[in-house]
Amino acid sequence: MNATARKFLVATGAVGTQWGDEGKGKIVDWLVTNDGYLICVRYNGGNNAGHSVYINDRLIHLHFVPSGIIHPAGLALVSAGEIIDPAQLINEIVYLRSQGITTDGRIIVDPRVTVITLLKRLIDMAKDFVRGRDSGKPIGTTAKGIGPTYAARADRSGLRLHQLLGDQDQLQKLLEQQFTEDLRYLKAVLELSDADLAELLTQLGKKDQAANRELIEAGLRSPEDFDYRSMFVANTTFNIERLVDFYLEQAAFLPNYIQIKDVASFVTEHYLAGERILFEGGQGTHLDIGFGSWPYVTSSHPIAGGATVGVPFGPTLLTNVIGVAKLFTTRVGGGPFPTKDTALAELIQGMPGQPGAEFGTTTGRRRDIGHFDAVLVRSAVLFSGIGELALTKLDFLDELAELKICTHYLLDGNPLYLMPPDPTDLERVVPVYETLPGWQTPTSGIRAFEEL
């Protein structure tokens, strides 16, 4: 292909530049609606990520499904770099349909995605509990099974979608083998009793019941659908046979909700045909498994390079990367946070007209809040080759008389302009601020850059 033809091909990545929760879903929705990106691809993570988008003043929550589904003509693709929980993916699609969003034929999932199972979620919860008990520093996992599922994929022992939808006899044997191994790990390595497992199942069921509250209120699901203790514990003993039957049922239901296609070839084919492709990252740069503030990170690659290996998509074909950043910084879960400021947090959390401001879409946990950290964003630009920056939530700072911007850190008296490679140094840095006057005028109605 010659250079003249090549310049008309557009593939853009949307990457969070902080610790997630930057407003990527809203930026993706704007690009799909206004800039012609009708093929939207998630390239990492699972339902530990949550994107929120408004439709006619209704707030829509997304977890597995890319934000492009909001546009009536958009296609939402789940690549092999993402992982899925079949039951929760079905619940999300049922929820989207209940909100008037048509999904038939518009959600495409790669058969190579790895499947999250209930026992992987139990392992996720149990390991973080043990970690917190032994070290006093839990990661703050979302209990979605993300880490154990990615670990199983790397160990070549995970369950893939093509296996879930394959021969039923082989699937049953595979599930029995995997569940037996997972149960052995929970009991022998993490030293959990049957009573412990039953309690974890109760907690997990309550989390999922809360997450699916709108479906329950609409009569599309019942609380009993999330009573995992009753479903999978018989005579105080975890019942593997019941769990196997549950996933055999999911295998039968899932094809009614999604299309299964090779996402990699689909994306490249449509890209070469001149269609605009948008790659949507979950979480944020500094939760990256390799380059984030380890160990308080996710289990995948939110950076732009995650798209090239998660879809996969040739790195030379990605024409632009848009970084998304809030004008302040937030973090949920554990880990160091140099610019954290409780006074700023109280102001933002208490803003009128912003009910539920700065609570996690996926977990509902209150986010810690701090000043804008240019070290985080500068590092994200470096890691992902970001060419444009989309700034969100200016209106949250409308009332401030002044803004504090962290320009760099001091570590043992030495300036740092990029994130330190040793994440323990992040606990010792001192942020250096530049103070700017606030604008103290409403910005929420502004729709043009010139009006700022």
pLDDT, tens digit, 9 for 90 and up, residues 222-266? 999 999 999 998 878 889 999 999 999 999 999 999 999 999 999
Query: Would you state the pLDDT for residue 3?
Result: 42
pLDDT level of residue 365 (50, 70, 90 thresholds): low
Phi-psi sector, 404: left (phi>0), alpha (psi -120 to 50), beta: beta
SS3 for 23? coil
Res. 2: pLDDT tops 50: no
Query: Would you state the pLDDT for residue 7?
Result: 44
As a whole number of angstroms, the distance between CA 238 and CA 227 comes to 14
As a whole number of angstroms, the distance between CA 242 and CA 232 comes to 6
pLDDT level of residue 49 (50, 70, 90 thresholds): confident
Alpha carbon separation from 39 to 237, 253, 266, 316, 432 (Å, rounded): 46, 25, 10, 19, 41
Q: Which of 9-13, 158-162, 439-443 is the least confident region?
A: 9-13
Whether the CB-CB separation of 300 and 53 falls below 8 Å is answered with no
Whether the CB-CB separation of 378 and 406 falls below 8 Å is answered with no
Q: Cα 302–23–388 angle (5° rounding)?
A: 70
At 294, the amino acid letter reads: W
State the CATH architecture for 114-257: Orthogonal Bundle (1.10)
Instruction: Reply yes or no on whether 21 is catalytic.
Output: yes
Enumerate the H helices of 193-304 as residue ranges. Answer: 194-211, 213-217, 228-232, 240-253, 263-272
As a whole number of angstroms, the distance between CA 435 and CA 230 comes to 57
pLDDT level of residue 303 (50, 70, 90 thresholds): very high
Whole-model pTM?
A: 0.91
9-110+261-451 and 114-257 have identical folds: no
Instruction: Reply yes or no on whether 57 is catalytic.
Output: no
Query: Would you state the pLDDT for residue 346?
Result: 86
Residue owning tokens 């992040």? 426
Query: Would you state the pLDDT for residue 96?
Result: 95
Task: Sketch the domain layout of the chain as residue ranges.
Answer: 9-110+261-451, 114-257
Rounded to an integer, the average pLDDT of 182-209 is: 93
- Average confidence score pLDDT of the chain: 90
As a whole number of angstroms, the distance between CA 394 and CA 204 comes to 36
The four Cα atoms 182, 187, 192, 196 give a dihedral, to 10 degrees, of 60
State the CATH architecture for 9-110+261-451: 3-Layer(aba) Sandwich (3.40)
Query: Would you state the pLDDT for residue 309?
Result: 95
Residue 255, preceding peptide bond in cis (omega within 30° of 0): no
Query: Any bridge partners for residue 59, and if so which?
Result: 54
Helix (H) or strand (E) holding 181: helix 168-184
SS3 for 239? coil
- Residues shown for the chain: 452
More confident residue, 60 or 137: 60
Whether the CB-CB separation of 224 and 251 falls below 8 Å is answered with no
Query: Would you state the pLDDT for residue 291?
Result: 95
Q: Which residue among the candidates 29, 35, 51, 288 is catalytic per the annotation?
A: 51
Pairing of strands 107-109, 159-160: unpaired
As a whole number of angstroms, the distance between CA 151 and CA 303 comes to 19
Closest CA to 117 of 82, 148, 142: 148
More confident residue, 17 or 56: 17
pLDDT level of residue 355 (50, 70, 90 thresholds): very low
Q: Cα 118–211–352 angle (5° rounding)?
A: 150
Give the model confidence (pLDDT) of 71-100 as tens digits: 999 999 999 999 999 999 999 999 999 999
Res. 356: pLDDT tops 50: no
